[in-house]
Chain A
Amino acid sequence: MLSKVSKDWAGAGFVTTIGLAILIFVPILFDLFEVLQMTQYVVLSLFALSLAYIWGYGGILSFGQAGFFGLGGYTYAVAAINMGQTTVPFLMAIGLCALFAAALGYFMFYGRLNDVYLGVVTLVVTLILWKLINHTAGPEYSIGEARLGGFNGIPSIPIMTLPWQPDMEMEPGQMFQYFMAILIGVYVLLHVLIKSKFGRVAISIRENEVRTGLLGYDVRLYKLGIFTIGGAIGGAAGAMWATYQTFIDPNSFSLEVSAKCLIWVMAGGVGTLFGPIVGVIGLQYLSLKLGETDLINNLIILGTILMFLVLLLPKGIFPSFQDLMQWLWRRVGGSGGERTP
């Protein structure tokens, strides 16, 4: 009889195996355009994971996850343009975002900010960043050789090279595999974190903060840690986005991007790690296909779908899918039938 713990891991292991299969076979089976498409989904999935973690497993609802996304992207862009290599800039992007998250987290959690008020603070911070960057259009706004470019953003961002090999720019297939590896790695790491003591305290904070505090845990410190991890992941995704598009603009800080992240996580299923990935792929693909047709205004369709999603699938796509599977399973196998893989 497999122990409870290993059954938990079975699911994660299954997903990871699928992920590795995708990593290995996609560049072989699909053509350039499709590989580029899927790279986008991988990067955005990582971004969604950052919010999925801090919200689903830490109870921190951030309306400003785009702040880390944009900051990571800009940091990578500025550093890569100035340094001529890409490995250190990538690490810098992650590091800077972690620091920024820690500072912002300190500001918020040690001020006892909570739920919607915290959300608004994250929103305001991201708005400030957006306005600041939008203002930087003139030539006087440069860091080293990189002009911040204001509304138009920073173009011609160096393509990421293989780690520590400044001459070997990644080809699209390699970039896909590299990013997919990062996504799988982060997914596994988050699973480990969630199952660890740190993760369990985090979930307990999400469930009942006061009680957890009364049990002797420093709630603020744990939240700070969770938020910092989320910020670092968001920053990594931002840097990956910058190099994928070879272009970054203030739009990455925008309310729209934060909102999309929230929608992906919500639609996919808060409280799971895999659900938001489904949310990303589903909604991005939908937007893409909508833009190819001219029948009805796209906003009408998107808006209607969102409303239906909330009313009919309140838990999100993935948990609802899980529920459906459970229901079918019970019909098929009866309440006694239970096969462990």
Chain B
Amino acid sequence: MTRDISRRSMLKGTAAVGAASALPMMPFAAEAADEIIVGGLHDLSGFLDFAGIPMNQIMLMAIEEINAGGGLLGKKVVGQVYDPQTNMSMYSQYATQLALKDKASVVMGGITSASRETIRPILHRYKTLYFYNTLYEGGVCDRNEITLGTTPAQTVEKLVPYTMGLWGKKVYTIAADYNYGQITAAWVKRYVEQNGGEVVSTDFFPLDVTNFGPTISKIQSAKPDMVMSVLVGTGHLGFYNQWAAAGMKNEIPIASTTFGAGGAEIEIIKPEVANGIISCYGYYPSVDTPENKEWVAKVNKRYPDKTPLLTELSEFTWEGMMIWADAVRTAGSLDRMKLIEVMESGKVYTMPSGQCSIDPITHHAIRDVYIADLQDKKFVIKEKFSQVQPADTQLVCDLKKNPNANKHYEISLE
């Protein structure tokens, strides 16, 4: 008995030594002086992978094109891709790794606001340039970040009057119950009222709700002219099917600030259910310009199978890469401040999505937005608005006055 216990304690000790010596010994980062590292932090597994995988594919395609043109400053551009697996602490670790160990010159990444807010302060602290390319609720004020994603003032502000003009003034809002959903719903209310309409009700749904029966009955009882959907995630996809199942498809039309943004929804939900949903984004694959047609063809050629879904998210990732590369060439250096100054200079870029430039006051994009009607998995563009300002973020952020700002403001609509 005694023998066993002492052996056990001896073994515990031995194991401790073993474990301690097995502690992660990070291999030295092979720092080739003739390489420029671009960091990619997109979810390649987990429930956001349908958004992250196309963004990553486009980023890698952009790197290939840059290298085909001779690289930057005579050096080859290399992508360092990490998969945060839709896990915030992984995001935080990889961001730190990119900044400190890999010494990346720029990082593209983050999909949800939560993931962005995890990595933005880290990249700010370690002075690594960061591009956020996903649509969100607005309010980021950080000179180290270039935010190409659209904000409600750019999209919702156009969507609301357009659909109200088409359908009527009574709106019923259904939204996901978290920051993006709540803020966007607040913006919807403001714009509806500004245009002389009325929001009959705003219902919030936790992200894992799958049964929408009661809400559909309530909508029927309220008899709105249209439903504004700010639903997010796979649990909420059921709404559209249940709506059609209850025979409501041709009764009340739906507009959405999220449907189709990630691209997966239009594939998963059948056309007879999804047709007629009107949305407003900064990019659609059906944008009718020579630049876009050429770009779409390029993407299809590069990825003939597993073609990435082309949405705001993936196209803005392309924009981010190209704008960064252009800044490097113009500044002739990788110095972060020089690059920022080039991008703040108001230069207008021609991209597949149209014209865009970086607003020096907020580091958000001034860009073209489009309104489109979804028909048989294709977006038919109805209207275009040029050079829309990120007015909501401009309310709270002035990087000229506060160049050291490092905050995400939640824009209050009181």
A–B interface present (Cβ within 8 A): yes
Report whether A247 and B117 are in contact in the complex, using a CB–CB cutoff of 8 Å: yes
Bound form: Cα–Cα A249–B412 in Å: 20
> B206 touching A131 by the CB < 8 A rule?
yes
Known: A11-B12, A33-B100, A36-B96. A249 touches B178 (CB 8 A): no
Contact B96 A246 (CB under 8 A): no
Number of interface residues of A (CB under 8 A): 64
Q: Report the minimum CB–CB distance from B136 to chain A (whole Å).
A: 10
Specify which chain B residues have a CB less than 8 angstroms from the CB of A290 in the assembled complex.
83, 85
A residues in contact with B96, CB < 8 Å = 33, 36
Contacts of B11 in A (CB 8 A): 11, 321-322, 325-326, 329
- Contacts A12-B9, A288-B93, A291-B85 given: A274-B15 contact, CB under 8 Å? yes
CA distance A40 to B408 in the complex (A): 25
Q: For residue B408, which residues in chain A have a CB less than 8 angstroms away from its CB? A: 152, 155
Q: Contact: B89 with A10, CB < 8 Å?
A: no
In chain B, residues 74-95, which have Cβ atoms closer than 8 Å to a Cβ of chain A? 81-85, 87-90, 92-94
B85 x A152 contact (CB < 8 A): no
Instruction: Give the interface segment out of A14-22, A97-105, A307-315.
Output: A14-22
Contacts of A22 in B (CB 8 A): 20, 23
Q: A12 — which chain B residues lie within 8 A by C-beta?
A: 9, 12
Main secondary structure of the interface of B (DSSP, over half): helix
Q: Is A138 part of the binding interface, using a Cβ–Cβ cutoff of 8 Å?
A: yes
Given A7-B2, A247-B118: A287 touches B178 (CB 8 Å cut-off): no
- Interchain CB contact under 8 A, B15 and A40: no
Contact A287 B412 (CB under 8 A): no
Q: How many residues of B contact A (CB 8 A)?
A: 60
Residues in chain B near residue A334, CB distance under 8 A: none
A281→B20 CA distance, assembly (Å): 10
B23 touches A251 (CB 8 A): no
Determine the distance from Cα of A134 to Cα of B407 in the docked complex, in whole angstroms: 20
Provide the residues of chain B in CB contact with A245, threshold 8 Å.
89, 92, 118
Q: Which residues of B contact A (CB under 8 A)?
A: 2-3, 5-20, 23-24, 26, 44-46, 81-85, 87-90, 92-94, 96-97, 100-101, 113-114, 117-118, 121, 177-180, 182-183, 204, 206-207, 406-408, 410, 412, 414
Q: Can you list 17 A-B contacts with CB-CB less than 8 angstroms, sorted by A residue number?
A: A7-B6, A10-B6, A11-B8, A11-B13, A14-B9, A18-B13, A134-B207, A137-B410, A152-B178, A155-B408, A247-B117, A249-B114, A290-B83, A294-B83, A318-B15, A321-B15, A329-B11
Which residues in A have some Cβ–Cβ distance to B below 8 Å? 2, 4, 7-12, 14-15, 18, 21-22, 31-34, 36-38, 40, 131, 134-135, 137-139, 147, 149-153, 155-156, 245-247, 249, 251, 256, 274, 277-278, 281, 285, 287-288, 290-292, 294, 297-299, 318, 321-322, 325-326, 329, 338, 340-341
